[in-house]
Amino acid sequence: MSTITDPQTTVREVLATIGIDIPDHLDVVLTDVRTGPRIATYRVSPSQVEAGCEQHWLVTGETVNAAALVEALPWHD
């Protein structure tokens, strides 16, 4: 995956490979503070996304550009 067409789906897939299962009804947002589920969002750190992309590649052989995925995700206000 070189182009991130659906960042929410992609981030859920790569994070699932490192044991972070995110419900479909929560929007994934980036944070540099506290991670985990909140009222309407699931906050993840850029390093979690990077680790998920690396593990996804090791498990599936499919490359996901971590920098592009982080760039495509919104930051928590």
Alpha-helical (H) ranges within the chain are: 7-16, 46-60, 66-72
- pLDDT of the residue at 77: 72
- pLDDT of the residue at 4: 86
Mean pLDDT of 8-31: 96
Task: Report pLDDT digits (tens) over 21-71.
Answer: 999 999 999 999 999 999 999 999 999 999 999 999 999 999 999 999 999
Q: What span, in angstroms and rounded, lies between the C-alpha atoms of 65 and 27?
A: 20
Q: Would you say residue 1 has pLDDT above 90?
A: no
Other Cβ atoms less than 10 A from the Cβ of 56: the count is: 22
Mean pLDDT of 4-11: 94
